[in-house]
Structure 1
Amino acid sequence: MEREGGAGASEPREEGPSGPDAPRAPGERSTVALPAAPGASTPPSVEPADLEPADLEPAALEPAALEPADLEPADLEPVALEPAALEPVVGLERLVLWHRAFPPRRVEQDEPAALAAWTSHVQSRLQASGGALLGSLGGAVAVAFELTELTDALDAALALLDEAEASDAVPGGFRVAFGAGTGELLEAEERVLGAAIDRAQLLANRARRGELVVDAGTRELASTTYLFGRSVGTGAAALRGSTLDRQVPRRAACRLAIAYLEPASPPPALRDALAPLEAGAAEEGLSCFALRGPSGAGAQTFLDALRERLEPARVVRVSGVPGALEPLGSLRLALLREHGSPEAAAESLGPTLGRVAVGEPVPWTEAVEAAAQAFGARPWFVVDPVPSVDGATLALLAEVAERGGAFFVARAPVDATLPPPLRALPFRDLVLPQLRIDDAKAVAQETLGDADEDIVRRVAVLGGDSPLGVMEAARALIAAGDLVHDGEHFVWRLSPRAGVRAIPLDALLQERLTALEPGPLRMLEAVCVLPLGTPPTLVEAVAARDGLDPDAQAQALGRLRQEAFLERVGAPAPTSEMLRRLVIQNMPPARQAELYRFCARAMGEAESCRGELTRGTRGFYRAEGGDQAAGARDLLAAAEAARGAAMERPARRLAAAAVQVHPTRETRTAAAAISRGAGGEREGEDVVERVSQVAVSALLSGDLDTVERTIEAAIAEGRDLAAADRVRAMAYLAKGETGAAMEAFRRAREKASGDDRTRARASLTLAWILLHAGNAEESIRAALDALAAARTLKDPRGEAAALHTLSACYKTLGRDEEAARIADASPA
């Protein structure tokens, strides 16, 4: 086939994925060599009416050896070329488009001049879209594209189909179709070979009028951009194609319909469960409620509706701060979230809280007094989620709540105890219920509007047991192109998905995330690594460091808001906590570290983060970004500022974090000085023995807060980090958090030395973790290892602990007699 036009069409490019090869006889080479007439018009001796689909089988003809009038159907059969006849070739991955014109049904409908003009237009249009003309014959046109131009090529083909139907050059428009195949093309002299050409032609021949049929390789490359319709069989073994949906060809057009979804009101079961909370909001005096359940259960929607109805004077919404390290960091972000800037916060709430809003250290009593005065009587405090909020913010809110008779709502994990600052308040636990199927249908109906009952039922089932799950099921179906909006209501684009079963919320979110282009995804990642309440200017600074200019940021934010990845109004914020966690989990470690470095630099230059306490968060970002030394310096600076503001517990915690991040002699010395100045151990005391005794006594008595404080003091004093993590693992076990205990043990094992004493203690800790996890056999092995190490050390206390652990293991297995004999053998 002669090769025309298409600059760069023969240049090698990077290898890409290729579609499946069509079946061929052994050793056979697929070739195409159609003579290209001048001006791409139909040869005068060949009438289009004489051509049948079978006439367009793959051929390998020498253009110079044939006259158009001599062509017969038999001449167009595949011809195998000998490899020796070809010069060295270069493999090129290409998309091939094959245009086919259907022959007229009647002789009197034949319009050769009009067809010639049309095929010339097709060639010009495809070449303008980046294609290289391989050749043409009659109404057949073959054009190759680089894979980087795949969307341009398919868009051009779809536009040509529209033009063909609308043309008035022939009655009823041109009857044409396209086939598309992806694969390697080989070039030698004036020949182009490759199964992609054969597949494109075969699929075009099997297509109906107005269809664009692509092979499996092309579909895989285009699946994130385009939507597909019916499957097309070819009769050639397993080769099948798929039509592009011409009514709704692009996924992006479908995703616009997410805007038609309506937020649902709280379902009846949730309203019943939260009836005490509603009553408490209307009462006078202190009312505290701990909502036990996952994010997305509908509690925030319920509180928003309650807020609109009761109109409280002040609502303070508090969320987490990275690492939960920055003293009053969550309060700082809450003030920025509500007022937009430190200056606006100072104007509304007074200069003291204005200083808190920029992270300046404010004496503790002054901060509490200012907050109590600014928030007034009966403020609403909504803390979500509790575990990621810093302790100083929780302590301040608790003190202000007791003074002003606040309405205090905190969302906490189902089985976890509340943090120490909140335990003195009279919290009442309310468990958020899972959605029943009837409630899920009600949520789906309200979300989808006037949709068919089958759609409502399927969305309700797919969404599982939470209102957020139902909403995300609807969003996922729309983003995938299964559901489309016809201008009045949602309908199935083709047919519903096979099978109806609940899909986990993270899987529904993941399905939508995979369809995001690099620009919007990078913008979403930048938003998610920053906490709620971050000023938009700081988000923009991080995104700019990530290579997104202002126009790209604006486009990405518009797309993310439109598709409900970000809240539609206010500063950029993810629509759910689950989405934030999933985006961060999806990032490779190197990508996370890169964004954390960008956050640290942006915070260092931001006027809204000029206070010394914000260095607690900046230190977290620096350490997670790979600069542990700089991170430790920031953490120590924040600890010194906290100590100066009489926030002793946060100061010790920051000092301990600095040692864990960068355990050098200099860091330990500085941390120890801060810890002693904040009410920690005094120099010269037998810290190791006292800390061990206090920690063990507190652990045995169930005082886990004292255990944690003791661990922090020990770390700040420069004590053994491995030992601290072993004690922390046992504290997690006491709380029933086996996974967290194992993670703490892994950290301890990484930091531990290899001597027998450390081995004995580590094996004993591991034995108890495995026993709590239900793995008694492995627990026995660990306890035996601890016993061997203790006997090597001639340590009777260690030997007794190992034997008691072995006894507990055998008792768990139901072997009580052996357990008793082992316990009796203990030396202590």
Structure 2
Amino acid sequence: MAERIVVSFHEPSGSAGSSGSGYLERSLSIKKRAEAHGGALCAWSSEAFAFDFPAEALDEALGFTLEQVAEAQGHEPLRIGVAQGEMRALGSPEGLAWGEPLKKAERLAFLARPGEVLLDPEIAAVEAGDLVTAGLRRGRCADGTIVRGQRLDIYAPLRGDTLQNVYKLVTAPAFVGREEELGKLAVPLGCAGLVRAAPGAGGTRLLLELAHRLSPPRSLRIAPTFLPREPLGALRNAFARSLAREEPPELPEALAAALDKLLSGEGIDVQRAAELVDAWLAPVDGRSGLLTVDDATSIDMATLEVVSQAIPPPGFFRSVVRIDVEEALPEVLSSIPVGAEVTLGPLPKEQARELARAFCGHAITEKAAARWARLGEGMPLGIREALAEGLATGELRWLGEVAEPRDRVSGRGAPAPAQEWITRRARWLEPGEIAALVGVALLGGDAPDQIVDAVSTLMGGAGARVAAAEETVVGAAWASRPEEGWLAITSRTQARVLIGLLDEGTRELWHRMAGRVLEQNVGPLGLAEPAYHAAVAGERASAAVLAAEAALAAAGAGLRKTAAALIEEAKSLDPDVQVPEISDEGALLEGPHAEEMSIASIIESMGEGGSMRALDPPSPSSIGSLSPDSLGARSSSVAAFGPRTRPSLAEAVAALGEDPVAAEDPSVMAERLSKLLREALVEGDVQTLEDILVRLRVTGERDALVERMSALVLLTRGEHGDALRKLKEAAAAVSSPRARAGALLSYGIALASAGEVDRALHETLTALARAREASDARAEQACARFLSYLSWVMGQPQASTVWARVAQASGEALGG
């Protein structure tokens, strides 16, 4: 029996040539083509014939099938069915075979219409979504059997081709509609225009179009980006992007120094920052500057304070603030006089169709534009995402140079918001691509590659690097390159959807990793960001410490309101946390010592005597020398990554046999042998280890432990195949999260020992998730230690350091 792909052809019903020479000649011609593609004739009758192909030759089988559809050459099209499964060779005549897939393929061919290819839904490529189908056909065969088949899209049968079609969408089409709203936003100087726009209504695009039409000499575009919770972070990023676009003005020495401090992340007081904004946007040759604030309720408080002081007189520049339809203007901005207010909702029907045409470069039929504009509910983002999802599924197809519906029902489904189309389209992303995008989303939706890689590779391995995912995520409009070395999610709605795809436990782990990486890559003010991530991850004490440090930095920079808010946040997380004291005027009265507050300083202060060093993860002599128990061992008793000097273990094992208590009670014997087993594994004493396993097996206790340790012994002998099989079976056999964590970690160690480091990373991350589910701090520490080592050998020292910190935090939890 062998796995085969069977392609069955059936003559059209009532075909007069099915029993004549024409049928025979056509069948023989098709037989030659099948053989040229690696197929073999497996069945023949007066009305049907079939060929089978190796299971791994799907491309050849599919190519052959589509050739017959395309090359009917005047004949009435055949009806075709395809199935996959085990076939048994009959021996004689040569090539003929029989099996369930042949029966399925013949029934599907009988059911198909002329020129149609029906696929068995159980074909592996159909189940995986690698083949594009155009709906289900259901019918009854002559023997009464109910048959169901998926109709193959013969124009774009491969998912990879339809996904490439998404690349044809225009990323930034010409602006459509909203002319009245744009006219109202030409507000007087010293006032602000207010834009109320629901997510996906085009609020961000409106601000960009306003800047384009006004063409100011200089502009500041404040929006939530990298480190959105860092005090003055949004203002810092706005100045950095403005410097990349435009020539800076000549600034007085004091303001130039203030700008340098701001850009370096040190922070400056609100009044000086407002003066800097006024100077930056001062009129040039009679033309005023422009300040836009996008998604104002997501901007840090300190930046909003600066905006509130800069806009009113003497603010000789135009300004526009955008918030959600249902949101109130942040209180800190309430003093700004509003010169005009506009609200953005769905586009009128004709403008929505025009935008659909613009997204397709005007290469789309009127029917398709109308249908997909309706599917997107008339919202700009919804229209684009509905088009992208339609192209990805094949419902909307490029025929030549024009996009059109695949059939008469395509595009006639129910309208849905943008997040629904985004969720559907996300299922076609590879795991590494999703990890890269989630990394960007967690970091504010717009972040430098280096930091994204540091976070995403911790969770998704090397395939989650920006460089590896860039072609797809940028080409398919998931992200863009706002500047060299930075990646930005296309819309904040996309960012929210991507994070929402994670289950709660995985999301907490992502936040934990993001916080660990950021703690090592931000200044004192920036610690407000890892404080947020630590809080979401449930690490309240660590979050409180980081928030208190950020409060200390904010107070030192003169950001009184921000410092007070961070102090309140720290106390809400941990009432006992040490926080700086500030006066009513904002002066710093007393601040805690940084080394008492920083997780980084706690680890670094351990020096050579600590259990781990933050920047120099210890390396074992080989991965095979590691075990789950040694990885979780406390440094004060057992060295985690190396042998230690002690009396002979063999003697201790022999002495245990003479102990009457142990000899009479199997559970006591098993407990004592287990302790010796861990020591033998740490010391690499394989001979004693095997002796212990024999004795432990005799007790009838700890069977799962015996199986795992036996597999690790096989590893030391180089018998990787048997070891991996045993450990995989052991992991599958346990159900409780605690037991599964240990089994998966053992399997991960074995995989790494066999050289399969990427798979080891995946299994160990799963083990870590199960350890967290079981609230098993020791297992979590063991997993984190091994992940630290894996990251080190994979050439990711920064990731190794982060995992070392996770292990340290788990060790502290164990210590109580």
TM-score, normalising length from structure 1? Answer: 0.59
**Deviation string, structure 1 residues 117-157 (Cα, Å, up to 9, x no partner):** 656555x469xxxxxx9x77796444574xxxxxx553231
Cα root mean square deviation, aligned: 4.3
Deviates most, 407-416 or 648-657 = 407-416
Give the 3 Å change call, closer, same or farther, for CA 675–251 of structure 1 in structure 2: farther
Shift of 1:211: 5.6
Corresponding position: 1:200 with 2:112:
no
Deviation at 1:678, TM superposition (A): 4.3
- Residues 552/526 of structure 1: CA separation in 2 closer, same or farther (3 Å cut): closer
Query: Which AA in structure 2 matches 1:463?
Result: G
Q: Percent same amino acid among aligned pairs?
A: 25
Q: CA deviation at 1:177?
A: 7.4
Tell me the CA shift for residue 474 of structure 1: 2.3
> What is the CA distance between 1:214 and its match in structure 2?
1.1
CA distance in 1, matches of 2:127, 2:539: 39
Contact kept, 8 Å, 2:6 with 2:84, in 1: the verdict is no
Report the Cα offset of residue 651 of structure 1.
0.9
Alignment correspondent of 1:332: 236
- Quote the offset at 1:642 in angstroms: 0.8
Contact 1:350–1:374 (CA<8 Å) still a contact in 2?
A: no
In structure 1, the residue matched to 2:82 is 180
User: Per-residue displacement from partner, 1:601-643 (whole Å, max 9, x unpaired)?
Assistant: 332343xx3x210111122122323433222221111111111
- Provide the rounded CA distance (Å) in 1 between the counterparts of 2:27 and 2:380: 62
1:221 paired residue among 127, 141, 159: 127
**1:542 equivalent in alignment to 2:455:** yes
SS of match in other structure, 1:286: coil
Deviation of 1:414 (Å) = 2.9
Which residue does the alignment assign to 1:616? 528
C-alpha contact (below 8 Å) 2:431/2:460 kept by paired residues: no
* 2:477 aligned residue: 564
Kept in 2, the 8 Å contact 1:622–1:631? The answer is: yes
Question: What is the distance in 2 between the residues matched to 1:153 and 1:465?
Answer: 44
Secondary structure (helix, strand or coil) at the match of 2:122 reads helix
The 1:350/1:573 distance shift into structure 2, 3 A limit, reads same
Q: Who is 1:243 aligned against? A: 151
User: Which blocks of at least 5 consecutive residues in structure 2 are unaligned?
Assistant: 12-17, 591-816
Unmatched 5+ stretches in structure 1: 4-8, 10-93, 127-132, 146-151, 683-828
Q: How far did residue 366 of structure 1 move?
A: 4.1
**Alpha-carbon deviations, 1:495-520, whole Å to 9, x = none?**
33374653222222222223323232
Deviations 1:344-368 (A, max 9, x none): 9999994432332342233444444
1:589 is matched with which residue? Answer: 504
Q: Which amino acid is the alignment partner of residue 181 of structure 2?
A: A
Contact 2:368 2:411 in 1 (8 A): no
How many Å separate the matches in 2 of 1:656 and 1:205? Answer: 73
1:649 maps to amino acid? K
The equivalent of 2:395 in structure 1 is 482
**Deviation of residue 410 (structure 1)?**
1.1
- Superposition pairs of residues 361-510 of structure 1, within 5 angstroms: 361-377=267-283, 378-402=288-312, 403-427=314-338, 428-448=340-360, 449-497=362-410, 499=412, 501-510=414-423
Distance in 2, matches of 1:370 and 1:639, equals: 23
Instruction: Pick the aligned partner of 1:574 from 489, 492, 502.
Output: 489
CA contact (8 A) 2:446 2:489 kept: no
Partner in structure 1 of residue 197 of structure 2: 293
- Which of 308, 312, 336 is matched with 2:212 structurally? 308
Which residue number in structure 2 is paired with residue 671 of structure 1?
579
CA change 1:530–1:631 in 2 (3 A) is same
One-letter amino acid of the structure 2 residue matched with residue 243 of structure 1 = R
Distance 1:346 1:173, change over 3 A: farther
What is the aligned partner in structure 2 of residue 517 from structure 1? 430
In 1, Cα distance between equivalents of 2:30 and 2:176: 62
Query: Contact between 2:301 and 2:562, CA under 8 Å: does it hold in 1?
Result: yes
For 1:573 and 1:108, the matched residues in 2 are separated by: 59
Q: Call closer, same or farther: CA 1:359–1:116 in 2, change over 3 Å.
A: same
2:322 is aligned with what amino acid?
R
Report the AA paired with residue 416 of structure 2: I
> In the alignment, which residue of structure 2 is the partner of 1:254?
162
Structure 1 residues 308 and 293: CA distance shift in structure 2, 3 A: closer
Retained in 2: the 8 A contact 1:229–1:243? yes
Alpha-carbon distance in structure 1 between the residues aligned to 2:477 and 2:130: 18
Counterpart-to-counterpart distance in 2, 1:376 and 1:337: 18
**209 and 108 in structure 1: CA distance in 2 versus 1, 3 angstrom threshold:** closer
Q: Residues of 2 paired with 1:614 and 1:339: CA distance?
A: 21
| TM superposition shift of 1:395 | 0.8
Q: 455-464 or 301-310: which moved more?
A: 301-310
CA contact (8 A) 2:6 2:101 kept: no
How far does residue 453 in structure 1 lie from its aligned partner after superposition? 2.7
Is residue 660 of structure 1 aligned with residue 580 of structure 2?
no
Verify the 8 A CA contact 2:396 2:411 in the aligned structure 1. no
SS at the partner of 2:479? coil
Conservation of the 8 A alpha-carbon contact between 2:230 and 2:526: yes
Cα distance per residue 1:745-781 (max 9 Å; x no partner)? xxxxxxxxxxxxxxxxxxxxxxxxxxxxxxxxxxxxx
| Partner SS for 1:217 | coil
Equivalents in 1 of 2:31, 2:399: separation in Å?
38
In structure 2, the partner of 1:272 is 180
- Cα distance, 1:465 vs structure 2: 3.6
Number of residue-to-residue matches in the alignment:
562
1:391 offset after TM fit, Å?
0.8
User: Offset at 1:487?
Assistant: 3.2
Give the 3-state SS of the residue equivalent to 1:534 in structure 2.
strand
Name the SS for the 1:464 alignment partner: coil
Deviation by residue 1:671-714 (Cα, 9 ceiling, x = unmatched): 374588947999xxxxxxxxxxxxxxxxxxxxxxxxxxxxxxxx
Deviation string 1:53-112 (CA, Å, 9 cap, x unpaired) is xxxxxxxxxxxxxxxxxxxxxxxxxxxxxxxxxxxxxxxxx7753455977840795599
**1:396 offset after TM fit, Å?**
1.1
SS in 1 for 2:370: helix
Q: Which has the larger radius of gyration?
A: 1
